[in-house]
Structure 1
Amino acid sequence: MTRANGVPEWLRPLLDRLGTARVEDFTRLPTPPEGGRASAVLVLLGEQHGEPDVLMLQRAETLRTHAGQPAFPGGASDPGDADAAATALREAEEEVGLAPASVTVLAQLPQLWIPVSDFVVTPVLAWWHAPHEVHPRAPEEVARVARLPVAELVDPANRLQVRHPSGWVGPAFQVRGMLVWGFTAGVLSALLEMAGWARPWPRDRIAELPVSTPQPAPAAGTDVG
């Protein structure tokens, strides 16, 4: 069932809730009033066989930062980008071959600060109204692209927390061979709660990240110490 504009009804609760979304819904860290490098990520929701999913990529193991880590498509803003949505769509096209015309931008979430890299990230929520094949366009940067079903993301068997050697603890998802954690998992966790899709899951299930794991980017549900 869809609205007149083609956006599915299952997205309505999330869109309604995002109208009052605040930084505090996603992170305990306030966004600085100025400074930080502007960037954006694309939270692209689609549908397969009547079931919602989200587009995710896995970074190449050879990268100097965030090697092997799942993430939303996205990156730093360019001077020619009109806004955060333009940044997110451009990066998604460069990374996985996403056609911008296949996407309906729905909302820009609050700007979130990542202190470890000093990025100020705007998550851009979008509906994939005309899905098509996507793949890593630069294998040296992107190892894999996947559409992760929301039903599997909210399955309690696939949810856990991870602990970084620094003491940071935050939500994570173990889905289809991907361990999604850090900033990406924090944003996902918050959106699932806002949409009313989340299910109770065992918060005491904690996995230790390897000592060599890069410093995480805090987001919703995280703790330090």
Structure 2
Amino acid sequence: MWMHRLLDRIHTGRMANPLDGAETLGDTDSEKRAAVLMLFSGSETSFDLPNDASVLLTHRTPTMRSHAGQIAFPGGRIDPTDTNAVDCAFREAWEETGLDRRTATPLAQLNEVHIRATGYPVYPILGHWHTPSPVAVASPHETDEVFDAPLYDLIDPKNRLMVGWREWHGPAFRINDYIIWGFTGGLLSAILDTAGWATEWDTDRIFDLENTLSTSRNNERMR
């Protein structure tokens, strides 16, 4: 399977730094833990990255109270009824996109990442969508678009950029006229680096995040 090298590096502690816009902190409020599902799909006929490889993403409704207008992985806060972070990630994916969890397999739970703005821990769950089924907006107040982002489009250097705001800067992507940045952009960048899929791109020039978002479809405003 084409994800074997990625999984081997994760399991042996060789995961790339997930994100410059996050920190590993001490104890935080356990009631505000969250999980996201990084769900990858693609043909299983080769050990190389297949042409149809993609990752499931959502666009958060611009009227949301937090992270409005951002491109995100399906996910959310861990509920008391969730068995664990994996259960939470799949439940949230079902609530947001209608994903049938029977069509996907969890492969790894990455080390928790703490969002710089809040300090809350997020548990990224890596999954393989072995039998892709139709997905769509299932919770309009949370998400207004659901789509598969082709990995080769994300890897393309012309779709990669560094963005900055105040003292922060980090990797970002252009896809479907959206800008993927922050937590999601950092995790995607780390996955590409860890798997050895990334190609050389311009990391020296830093674009102003607010200006970059103003010409995108994100419809988000910096606070």
TM range (shorter): 0.7 to 0.9
Q: Which moved more, 1:149-158 or 1:59-68?
A: 59-68
Distance 1:23 1:214 in 2: 30
1:54 deviation in Å? 0.3
Per the alignment, residue 74 of structure 1 pairs with 75
Residue 26 of structure 1: which of 9, 15, 18 is its match?
18
Partner of 1:51: helix, strand, or coil? coil
Alignment of 1:65-144 (within 5 A): 65-144=66-145
Q: Kindly indicate whether the alpha-carbon contact (under 8 Å) linking 1:24 and 1:30 is maintained by their aligned counterparts in 2.
A: no
Q: Percent identity?
A: 41
Per the alignment, residue 156 of structure 2 pairs with 155
Partner of 1:139: helix, strand, or coil? coil
Distance 1:111 1:21 in 2: 13
Distance 1:42 1:189 in 2: 15
Per the alignment, residue 40 of structure 1 pairs with 35
Per the alignment, residue 202 of structure 1 pairs with 202
Q: Kindly indicate whether the alpha-carbon contact (under 8 Å) linking 1:22 and 1:110 is maintained by their aligned counterparts in 2.
A: no
1:109 deviation in Å? 0.3
Q: Kindly indicate whether the alpha-carbon contact (under 8 Å) linking 2:97 and 2:136 is maintained by their aligned counterparts in 1.
A: yes
Task: Could you tell me which runs of 5 or more consecutive residues in structure 2 were left unpaired when the two chains were aligned.
Answer: 44-49, 212-219
- Structure 1 residues 181, 71: closer, same or farther in 2, change over 3 A? same
Note the aligned Cα RMSD (angstroms): 2.0
Distance 2:84 2:202 in 1: 39
1:143 deviation in Å? 1.1
Look up the equivalent residue of 1:14 and give its one-letter code. Answer: L
Residue 60 (1) aligns with residue 55 (2):
no
Look up the equivalent residue of 2:141 and give its one-letter code. Answer: E
User: What does the per-residue CA deviation read over 1:17-68, in whole Å, with 9 as the maximum and x for residues that have no partner?
Assistant: 0012378722462232453521100000012785210000001111122111
Distance 1:31 1:175 in 2: 31
Look up the equivalent residue of 1:97 and give its one-letter code. Answer: G
Distance 2:62 2:28 in 1: 33
Which ranges of 4 or more aligned residues in structure 1 deviate by more than 4 Å?
none
Distance 1:214 1:40 in 2: 24
Residue 11 (1) aligns with residue 6 (2):
no
1:123 deviation in Å? 0.2
Task: Could you tell me which runs of 5 or more consecutive residues in structure 1 were left unpaired when the two chains were aligned.
Answer: 1-8, 216-225
Per the alignment, residue 192 of structure 1 pairs with 192
Distance 1:108 1:139 in 2: 28
Q: Kindly indicate whether the alpha-carbon contact (under 8 Å) linking 1:59 and 1:143 is maintained by their aligned counterparts in 2.
A: yes
- Structure 1 residues 64, 35: closer, same or farther in 2, change over 3 A? closer
Distance 2:14 2:80 in 1: 27
Residue 176 (1) aligns with residue 170 (2):
no
Q: Which moved more, 1:152-161 or 1:115-124?
A: 115-124
Look up the equivalent residue of 1:174 and give its one-letter code. Answer: R
Distance 2:123 2:170 in 1: 20
Distance 1:31 1:83 in 2: 21
1:160 deviation in Å? 0.1
Distance 1:139 1:193 in 2: 33
Look up the equivalent residue of 1:40 and give its one-letter code. Answer: A
